[in-house]
C-alpha cells in the first residue's frame, strides 16, 4: 500500500490546489441562482487537473454494476464516485467509505453528516476479522430523564425533534478519525478533499433534495441558519437544477482536514455547536417553540467512539456479522433468523415464507423493546436472545395458520443464558415490549457499502436521525445537528425503568443494521438500510428474499417491503407497491392487516448491498426507485 498511498496523496493535493480548482467566477454565487439545465450544473471539467478525473464528466447513474476489484454503492452518484475514486487511486475500503460519507454529508445533508453519528462494520481481509466501530451520538452529561418532560408529561415527539434537547453529542468525526487511524491508509485531510470540492463547486439540486427540503420547509423557515443555507429567495426551496453550494461546510471540512478531529470537538466548531444547542437560532417572531438543550464543551471534548466486537450468528449455511448494542439491529435480525431457521423454506410458498418472516420479526421486536439498551448502562440478555434453544422454544408462538391480532409480549431469554438476571445496580429489563419511540418510513439515514481489491469490506450506516435532523444548521459551519436522543424511550412516567430510558452519557438504542454475510469462510454479501426501526425488517426481508426465496440480490433489494414491528394492533406496514402483489392477497387471507406505508411517506428502505460472486466478480447494488434511485459502481468493469 505504500506506493499507491503516496500517489494518492499527490493526486489529492493536486485536486485541491488553487491552480487546479475550477474557476470560481464561472460558478453561480451563493447556494443557487442558476436555472434548471444551466451549464453550471456540470462540474468544471478541469476539476482534479489530472486525466481520469472521475468527476470531470459524471457517468449515468446506475443501480447495479458488476465487475472486479473494489465496488461501492450509495444513495448518491457523487458519494459512490468518491469511493471509487479513492479505490482507483490505491486507497482501501475504509478510506473510500469515509470519502463517500464526507460527500454524502454535502449532497445528502438531510440524512447524514458530521452533526450525527453511525455504525461502521469492517471486514479486515488480512486479519480475517470483522470489527464494529460505534460512533453513536451520546446524551450530554447534564441531560436527565426529566429533561424530556414538562408539567409531568412527556414533551411531544415532534416538538423534541426540532429542539436543542434532542441533540446527542455528535460521533461522526471521531468515528471517521478512528476508522482511518486504525484501518485506513489515508488521513482525514486526504479523504475529505473531494467532499470539500463538491461543497465549494456545488452540485445540481435533484428531485430528492427538493422533496427533502419541502418536507422540512416549516422548520427551515423558522431557523435563521437553516433558512439561509437551504432556502432561496422568499424562503422557498431551491428548484431542481439549481447549483447548490455549501461554502460553510467546505470550511468546516477544511478545519477538520487540517486540524483533525480536535478541530471539531474543541475550539470554534465545538463552541458553535454548543451555542446552537443552548440558544437555537430562531427567526424573530417565529411561532415555532424550539427548546434549548444542555450540551457543554466538555461533552464534545470527551466524546469517544467505541470499537466493539461484531455480533455474530449463523443462518442455515451462512455466518452473519452485525452490530451489537447500542444498536438493536444485529440482535433483532439474528433472533428473527434463528426463528426462521426452523422452517424449510424450500418446501414453502412465498406467502408462507413471508408469513413466517412477519411472525419472526414480531417476536424479535417484542424482545427488542423490552430488553435492549446501551450496554454500558444495561445488562441485556444478549446471549439468551441469540441462543438457538431460545428460538426453538419461542417459535411455537408463531401461528402458522393465522396472523396475530395483538402485540406479542417479550419472552424470557434469561432462562437461556448462564447469568440469569441483570447485575445489581444496572437497569432492570422492562416487562413490556414496544416498537420504540417512533416508527417512520424511509426518509432519513443512509447506508454505504464499499469493498476493495484486497477483500476488505465496509458496511456503514450513518445518520442525523430524522430527515433533516433537528432542523438546526450550526451557524457559520454548514451542517445540520442530529435529533438522535428521540431514539430513547420516553415512558409516560419518567421514573419508570426502561433499558432505553434517558440517562446522562448514555447512547440511545438504535436500529441500524450494517451486515456482512459469509459462506464457507468467504464473504458473500454486505448490506444495510436506512429507515428507523424498519431498518431491521428491511435487512431481514432482503436476507429472506435472497437466501430463502432465491431472489437475485438486486431483486431482493428492489422488492416491495412489508414490515412487522410488533405494533399494538398487530397491523403490518407495507409499501404501496406491495399491496397490489399476489403475496399481499395471500397474507390478507391469513388474516394480516396491511397498512399502506404510503400514508407515512411511502418508502421503506433505500438499501445498498454488495454481492461477492463465485466467479470472483462483485455486484454492487443500490436502490433502483426509492429516493429516486441510488448509485452502484465497480472499480474495474468486466
Catalytic positions, written as ranges = 445
Residue pair 294/143 in contact (Cβ under 8 Å)? The answer is yes
Phi, psi of 131 (to 5 degrees): -125, 155
CB of 315 to ligand GLU, least distance (A): 22
3-state secondary structure of 506: coil
CB of 508 to ligand GLU, least distance (A): 7
CB atoms within 10 A of CB 100: 34
Please give the grid coordinates belonging to residue 621. Answer: 447494488
Q: CA 88: distance to chain centroid? A: 25
Euclidean distance between CA atoms 232 and 155, whole angstroms: 32
CB of 447 to ligand GLU, least distance (A): 9
Euclidean distance between CA atoms 514 and 133, whole angstroms: 11
Evaluated on CA atoms 364, 366, 369, 373, the torsion sign reads negative
Q: Indicate the residue among 293 and 530 with the shorter CB distance to ligand GLU.
A: 530
Residue pair 606/535 in contact (Cβ under 8 Å)? The answer is no
CB of 440 to ligand GLU, least distance (A): 6
> Strand 117-124 relative to strand 457-463: parallel, antiparallel, unpaired?
antiparallel
CB of 368 to ligand GLU, least distance (A): 11
3-state secondary structure of 327: strand
Q: Indicate the residue among 281 and 293 with the shorter CB distance to ligand GLU.
A: 293
Euclidean distance between the first and the last CA atom of the chain, given in angstroms as a whole number: 24
Q: Interface with ligand GLU by CB under 6 A: which residues?
A: 440, 444-445, 463, 465, 484, 487, 510-512, 530-532, 535
Task: For the chain, count helices (H), then strands (E).
Answer: 22, 20
CB atoms within 10 A of CB 350: 17
Phi, psi of 102 (to 5 degrees): -60, -45
CB of 172 to ligand GLU, least distance (A): 13
Q: Indicate the residue among 341 and 484 with the shorter CB distance to ligand GLU.
A: 484
CB of 209 to ligand GLU, least distance (A): 18
3-state secondary structure of 378: strand
Euclidean distance between CA atoms 52 and 67, whole angstroms: 19
Query: In the 8-state DSSP scheme, what is residue 362?
Result: H
Greatest Cα pair distance in the chain: 70
Find cell 412465498 and name the residue: 350
Q: Indicate the residue among 16 and 463 with the shorter CB distance to ligand GLU.
A: 463
Euclidean distance between CA atoms 221 and 223, whole angstroms: 6
Q: Indicate the residue among 248 and 465 with the shorter CB distance to ligand GLU.
A: 465
Q: Name the E strands within 188-227.
A: 203-204
Please, is 159 exposed, middle or buried when counting C-beta atoms within 10 Å of its C-beta (0-12, 13-18, 19+)?
Answer: middle
Q: Indicate the residue among 137 and 261 with the shorter CB distance to ligand GLU.
A: 137
H-helix or E-strand containing 256?
A: helix 247-259
Q: Indicate the residue among 526 and 606 with the shorter CB distance to ligand GLU.
A: 606
Q: Name the E strands within 419-565.
A: 446-451, 457-463, 515-519, 522-528, 562-563
Q: Indicate the residue among 168 and 280 with the shorter CB distance to ligand GLU.
A: 168
CB of 604 to ligand GLU, least distance (A): 11
Euclidean distance between CA atoms 490 and 270, whole angstroms: 28
CB of 108 to ligand GLU, least distance (A): 13
Amino acid at each position: 500500500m505504500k506506493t499507491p498511498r503516496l500517489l494518492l496523496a499527490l493526486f489529492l493535493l493536486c485536486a485541491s490546489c488553487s491552480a487546479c480548482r475550477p474557476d470560481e467566477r464561472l460558478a453561480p454565487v451563493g447556494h443557487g441562482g442558476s436555472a434548471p439545465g444551466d451549464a453550471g450544473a456540470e462540474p468544471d471539467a478541469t476539476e482534479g487537473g489530472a486525466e481520469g478525473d472521475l468527476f470531470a464528466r459524471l457517468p449515468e447513474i446506475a443501480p447495479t454494476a458488476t465487475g472486479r476489484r473494489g465496488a461501492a454503492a450509495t444513495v448518491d452518484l457523487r458519494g459512490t464516485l468518491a469511493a471509487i475514486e479513492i479505490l482507483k487511486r490505491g486507497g482501501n475500503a475504509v478510506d473510500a467509505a469515509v470519502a463517500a460519507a464526507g460527500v454524502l454529508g454535502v449532497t445528502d445533508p438531510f440524512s447524514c453528516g458530521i452533526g450525527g453519528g453511525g455504525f461502521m462494520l469492517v471486514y479486515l481481509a488480512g486479519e480475517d476479522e470483522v470489527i464494529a466501530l460505534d460512533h453513536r451520538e451520546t446524551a450530554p452529561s447534564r441531560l436527565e430523564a426529566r429533561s424530556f418532560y414538562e408539567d409531568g408529561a412527556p414533551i411531544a415527539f415532534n416538538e423534541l425533534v426540532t429542539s436543542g434537547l434532542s441533540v446527542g453529542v455528535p460521533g461522526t468525526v471521531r468515528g471517521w478519525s478512528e476508522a482511518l487511524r486504525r484501518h485506513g491508509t489515508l488521513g482525514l485531510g486526504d479523504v475529505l478533499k473531494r467532499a470539500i470540492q463538491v461543497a465549494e463547486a456545488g452540485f445540481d439540486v435533484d428531485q430528492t433534495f427538493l422533496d427533502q427540503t419541502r418536507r422540512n420547509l416549516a422548520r427551515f423557515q423558522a431557523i435563521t441558519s437553516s433558512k439561509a443555507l437551504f432556502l432561496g429567495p422568499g424562503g422557498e426551496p431551491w428548484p431542481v437544477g439549481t447549483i447548490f453550494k455549501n461554502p460553510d461546510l467546505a470550511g468546516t471540512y477544511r478545519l477538520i482536514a487540517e486540524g483533525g478531529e480536535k478541530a471539531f470537538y474543541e475550539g470554534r466548531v465545538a463552541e458553535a455547536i454548543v451555542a446552537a444547542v443552548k440558544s437555537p437560532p430562531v427567526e424573530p417572531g417565529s411561532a415555532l417553540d424550539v427548546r434549548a438543550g444542555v450540551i457543554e464543551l466538555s461533552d464534545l471534548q470527551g466524546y469517544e467512539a467505541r470499537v466493539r466486537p461484531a455480533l455474530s450468528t449463523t443462518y442455515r449455511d451462512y455466518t452473519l456479522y452485525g452490530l451489537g448494542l447500542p444498536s438493536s439491529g444485529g440482535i433483532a435480525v439474528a433472533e428473527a433468523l434463528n426463528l426462521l431457521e426452523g422452517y424449510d423454506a424450500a418446501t414453502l410458498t412465498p406467502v408462507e415464507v413471508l408469513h413466517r418472516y412477519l411472525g419472526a420479526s414480531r417476536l424479535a421486536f417484542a424482545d427488542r423493546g423490552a430488553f435492549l439498551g446501551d450496554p454500558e448502562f444495561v445488562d441485556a440478555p444478549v446471549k439468551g436472545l441469540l441462543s438457538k434453544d431460545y428460538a426453538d422454544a419461542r417459535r411455537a408462538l408463531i401461528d402458522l395458520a393465522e396472523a396475530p391480532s395483538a402485540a406479542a409480549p417479550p419472552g424470557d431469554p434469561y432462562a437461556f443464558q448462564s447469568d440469569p438476571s441483570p447485575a445489581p445496580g444496572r437497569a432492570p429489563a422492562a416487562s413490556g415490549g414496544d416498537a420504540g419511540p417512533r416508527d417512520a418510513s424511509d426518509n432519513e439515514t443512509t447506508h454505504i457499502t464499499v469493498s476493495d481489491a484486497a477483500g476488505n469490506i465496509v458496511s456503514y450506516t450513518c445518520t442525523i436521525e430524522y430527515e433533516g435532523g433537528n432542523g438546526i444548521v450550526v451557524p457559520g459551519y454548514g451542517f445540520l445537528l442530529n435529533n438522535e436522543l428521540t431514539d430513547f424511550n420516553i415512558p409516560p412516567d419518567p421514573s419508570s425503568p426502561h433499558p432505553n430510558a434517558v440517562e446522562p452519557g448514555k447512547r440511545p438504542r438504535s436500529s441500524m443494521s450494517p451486515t456482512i454475510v459469509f459462506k464457507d469462510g468467504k464473504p458473500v454479501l454486505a448490506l444495510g438500510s436506512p429507515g428507523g426501526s424498519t431498518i431491521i425488517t428491511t435487512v431481514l426481508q432482503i436476507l429472506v428474499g435472497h437466501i430463502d426465496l432465491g431472489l437475485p440480490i438486486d431483486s431482493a433489494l428492489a422488492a416491495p417491503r412489508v414490515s412487522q414491528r410488533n405494533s399494538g394492533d398487530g397491523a403490518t406496514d407495507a409499501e404501496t407497491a406491495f399491496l397490489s402483489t399476489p403475496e399481499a392477497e395471500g397474507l390478507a387471507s391469513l388474516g394480516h392487516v396491511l397498512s399502506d406505508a404510503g400514508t407515512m411517506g411511502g418508502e421503506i428502505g433505500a438499501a445498498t448491498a454488495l454481492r461477492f460472486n463465485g466467479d470472483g466478480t462483485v455486484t454492487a447494488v443500490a436502490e433502483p426507485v426509492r429516493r429516486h434511485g441510488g448509485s452502484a459502481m465497480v472499480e474495474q468493469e468486466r
